[in-house]
Structure 1
Amino acid sequence: MNRNYINVVIEGLNPEKFINLAIVNGINLWDIERISFTEMGFKMSGKQFKDLRKIAKKTSCRVRIARKNGIIFIIKRMARRAFFIAGILVFFIILYLMSNMVWSIEIEGNKKINEQIIFNELKKNGITIGSFKSKIKPRDVEKNMVKAITELSMITISFDGTKAKVRIVERTMPPEIIDNELPTNIIATKEGIITKVSALKGQALVKEGDFVKKDQVLISGVITDSQNLPLKATRAIGDVYAKTWYESIKEINLQYKYFEFTGNELKVIYILTPNNKRIYLKPGVNKFQFYDKIEEKEKIKIAGFGTNIIKITETYKEKIQRIKILNYREALDTGIEITNNELEKKVPKDAKVLEKKIEKVIMKNKVRVRNLWVTEEKVSAEKKIN
């Protein structure tokens, strides 16, 4: 008896005719039994099962395999599972290899040393994106880098998952000797009207009330005599303050357009691999005409270890354009508010606001607002004499 066989069930109004035709056509059936009025079951070789389909069509019966028996079927099932298990193993092997590679380098503590110099030395010592951590000897790299970069006092290299953390302690270098007699001028950093001149060293060329332009010499390092002939060059020292100004101009239509959030939003979530491939966990297509986009990034940890795989959540918040009909007073107030906000960002924090002037022009269906802030601030900076 064939040890590799299948249990088959046929269903139809005339299952006996099906059995007879199968036997007539040389199909070996055994252990034939009636299950119900319309169903019969039997055993047969799996190799002959395909021959039953033509007979099933002729007799209007349905045929199905109820069970597969024998070592061949067991091996096939195991083979299918083996491919699945092998795939999982390969995935974890790749993941393991990736988690043992350097995918990002973080440098901290360098204030004077150029970051590119550090990267170049790390590369020379085998630390670069894609290098295996097992092949890196951090202590040896630290010694080599301290020797190579004179500005380094100490360096420590550690690993946090797939990230190489480089901590820098810079050497305290001898202070730079400043030549106080190095010829320099004090120049204007912007245009304005002078309010105060404090020339500690050098020759003041401007006085209170003078209008100056950007880059104009305010305190000269070249000392001259009464006939304007140079006597000597020195380092000019001093501060100069001036009145200067900032303005913002806006036109506000009485049909004022603004945006309002609808409450509708779309979330798109995906994994970003080290080679910038996206694997979408929650795909979506943004069809909003107007929207604000918020992006959140989170590094994925596997078995407690950090990786260079990033989970990104993009939130799209829909907004629609609205039109509000304003009267002239409301339009003026809106223009003043917008220009005030703009000027607050423009004016330096250490500047003293002396005056605020607002000019309003009413036109057909709109208003024009000119907002001018007059400030007093330091406008002087040192520049070498060529």
Structure 2
Amino acid sequence: MKEAPLSWVRGVVTILVTGPQTEMFINALAGAGIVIWDVKPVQGGLRLKLLLNDFYALRPLLKKTGCRLHITGRKGLPFVTARLLKRKFFAAGLLLFGIGLVLLSSMVWSVDVEGNKRLAAEDVLDAARQEGVFPFQWIWRMDSPDKLSRELTARLPGVSWIGIQRTGTAVKIQIVEAVQPEKRALYSQRHLVSRTDAVVTDIYAEQGRPVVGRNSRVKKGDILISGILGDEENTQKVVAKGEVKGLVWHEYNINVPLKTKVNAYTGERKDHAYLVLGKWAIQLWGYGKSPFKKSSMLIENNPLSWHSIELPIGWMTEKELEFNELTATLTSKAARDKGLETAKNDILARYGSDCVIKSQKILHEKKENGKVYMKVLFEVEERIAEELPIVYNQGE
């Protein structure tokens, strides 16, 4: 016979029937309407399966036929439930785990923003939070995606369309920014003047009247490109534009120590492992005092994730690395080269990476108190123009 429907849910009992009239017992089962299956002859009897509810109706049939039975197997939901009820703490834990799993899958775990270029992602996330979209929010408390899209579009300026897409516990906010005309800088009428004393090496006037030429020596504040065109009777004030380069001299006082301390790692380390639960970290191993005289700490965080969602549980390892403090000694030449290189990098950082160091001259050098002292003059070609607004006199 075929297996009864939903047999696992209803419970299945496997029995071994023995006795002189096992065939009569099978016929009695059929007459009583009891469904059996997997009937197999074994030594001394028959093995078969039937539903748990039908098992309790076998006693009168056994008396009638003079057979005996022995239970050899039980499976199905009723037996699993009975075993769990015997283990109350395990059953309670399993129930709590199921409830926790349902609750965790009913919360928003991550909110991502895509498509934004001019608009800061923090501003989008802040507006979404005000509309009830943020991590650890209940999904059922969120409004429909269409309503959220309309509300966020109204809150965020410069946005033409916003799409809200929820996949499981992750929410994705897609931004389409409105096309805006390019904003041009507003310039006031001005001169271009020298910001320092220099010798002009190159001048290009895009707009305005050049006042100096190449190889001209200028002082700080001298006009390089004038924003006034015309003569005394007919004048026009414009925004002076252009580029002026000149030779400028910079004097540096440099001192470099001949001995410096460096950290050399030995390769020895001690690990401290932690289980991270939200904001708390529980140390699992790596207890005890540090075995190293000098060490530094390197921290590695490994949070668990599900798909693209980062869970508030993970693993943290603190790697304590041993090092020895060594003293490195420089020669006078190496200290001099190091000082000059540091000064050159400072010039490039201060006056632009396009400036060119034409020459350098060490004016004074001495070695004293474990350091090399130098006074160096650098000749640098750099941009020397800066803006000076044109001031109107009364009556103009």
Q: Same fold (TM over 0.5)?
A: yes
In structure 1, C-alpha distance between the alignment counterparts of 2:377 and 2:369, rounded to whole Å: 23
Question: Which runs of 5 or more structure 1 residues have no equivalent in the other structure?
Answer: 1-76
Pair 1:124-2:130 in alignment = yes
Listed as ranges, the matches of 1:182-197 within 5 Å are 182-186=188-192, 191=196, 193=198, 194-197=200-203
C-alpha change, 1:225 and 1:157, in structure 2 (3 Å) is: same
**Which position in structure 1 is the counterpart of 2:254?**
249
Distance 1:126 1:186, change over 3 A: farther
- Contact map agreement 2:360 2:378 (CA 8 A) in 1: yes
Distance 2:223 2:170 in 1: 51
1:141 alignment partner in structure 2: 148
Q: Secondary structure at the match of 1:110?
A: coil
Does 2:321 correspond to 1:317?
Answer: yes
Residue type at the aligned position of 2:162: I
CA offsets 1:160-190 (integer angstroms, 9 cap, x no match) = 77654433332111233666x74345467x7
The letter of the residue matching 1:209 is: R
1:170 aligns with: 177
1:376 aligns with 381
How many angstroms does 1:226 deviate by?
A: 6.9
Match of 1:111, as an amino acid? Answer: K
Which has the higher mean CA deviation after the structures are superposed, 163-172 or 229-238? 229-238
How far is the alpha carbon of 1:218 from its aligned partner?
5.3
1:153 aligns with 2:160: yes
Q: Quote the residue 1:362 is aligned against.
A: 367
Evaluate the alpha carbon distance shift between residue 151 and residue 101 of structure 1 in structure 2; reply closer, same or farther with a 3 A threshold: same
Match of 1:97 among 103, 113, 118: 103
The superposition leaves residues 282-324 of structure 1 with CA deviations (integer Å, 9 ceiling, x where unpaired) of: 555784565454444444124x462243544443322221234
Confirm whether residue 210 of structure 1 aligns to residue 212 of structure 2.
Answer: no
State how far apart, in whole Å, the 2-side matches of 1:382 and 1:323 are: 50
Query: C-alpha deviations, 1:317-353, integer Å up to 9, x for none?
Result: 2222123455xxx243045236526744762443333
Residue correspondences, number: 298
Q: Which residue of 1 aligns with 2:243?
A: 239
Give the letter for the 1:332 counterpart: K
- SS of 1:90's partner is helix
CA 184–89 in structure 1, closer or farther in 2 if over 3 Å, else same: farther
Distance change (3 Å), C-alpha of 1:98 and 1:185: farther
User: How far off is 1:141 after superposition?
Assistant: 2.0
In structure 2, what is the Cα distance between the partners aligned to 1:182 and 1:119?
A: 39
Say whether the 8 Å CA contact 1:161–1:305 is kept in structure 2. Answer: no
**Considering only aligned residues, what root-mean-square deviation do their CA atoms show, in Å?**
4.3
2:125 is aligned with what amino acid?
A: F
Change (3 A) 1:332 1:171: same
Distance 1:301 1:332, change over 3 A: same
TM-score (norm 2): 0.58
Name the CA shift for 1:351/1:150 in 2 (closer, same or farther; >3 Å). Answer: same
Change beyond 3 A, Cα 1:132–1:200: same
Structure 1 pair 279–123 and aligned structure 2 pair: CA distance change class (3 A)? same
Structure 2 residue corresponding to 1:307, chosen from 289, 310, 316: 310
Q: 1:256 and 1:118, CA in 2 relative to 1: closer, same or farther beyond 3 A?
A: closer
Q: Which residue of 1 aligns with 2:341?
A: 340
> How many Å separate the matches in 1 of 2:89 and 2:123?
48
1:361-383 deviation per Cα after TM superposition (whole angstroms, max 9, x unaligned) = 22244323566654433354668
- Give the equivalent residue in structure 1 for 2:52: none
Q: What is the TM-score normalised by the length of structure 1?
A: 0.59
**For residue 210 of structure 1, what is the amino acid of its counterpart?**
V
Amino acid at match of 2:256: E
Shift of 1:151: 1.1
Asked if the contact 2:210–2:225 (Cα under 8 Å) also holds between the matched residues in 1, the reply is: yes
Once the two structures are overlaid, the 10-residue window that deviates more, 102-111 or 231-240, is: 102-111
Mapped partners of 1:246, 1:156: distance in 2: 59
Letter paired with 1:118: V
In terms of Rg, which structure is larger?
A: 2
* Mapped contact 1:248–1:343 kept (Cα < 8 A): no
Q: SS at the partner of 1:169?
A: strand
| Alpha-carbon distance in 2 for matches of 1:164, 1:246 | 59
Amino acid paired to 1:277: W
Correspondence 1:111 to 2:135: no
Asked if 2 retains the 8 angstrom alpha-carbon contact of 1:294 and 1:315, the reply is yes
Q: Residues of 2 paired with 1:125 and 1:95: CA distance?
A: 26
Shift of residue 236 of structure 1?
Answer: 2.1
Percent identity over the alignment?
22
Report the CA distance between 1:79 and its aligned residue.
Answer: 8.0
Q: Tell whether 2:282 aligns with 1:279.
A: yes
Distance in 2, matches of 1:252 and 1:362, equals 10
- Tell me if the contact between 2:84 and 2:90 (Cα under 8 Å) persists in the aligned partners: no
Cα offset, 1:114, TM superposition = 4.4
**Which 5+ residue runs of structure 2 have no aligned equivalent?**
1-82, 392-396
Q: CA deviation at 1:122?
A: 1.1
Q: Distance in 2 between matches of 1:352 and 1:360?
A: 24
Give how far 1:80 is off.
9.4
- Shift in alpha-carbon separation, 1:131–1:372, aligned structure 2, 3 A: farther
Aligned counterparts of 1:96 and 1:314: Cα–Cα separation in 2: 34
For 1:83, the equivalent position in structure 2 comes to 89
* Aligned partners of 2:272 and 2:317 also within 8 Å: yes
Q: Equivalent residue of 2:134, what SS?
A: coil
Q: Is the 8 A contact 1:187 1:382 kept in 2?
A: yes
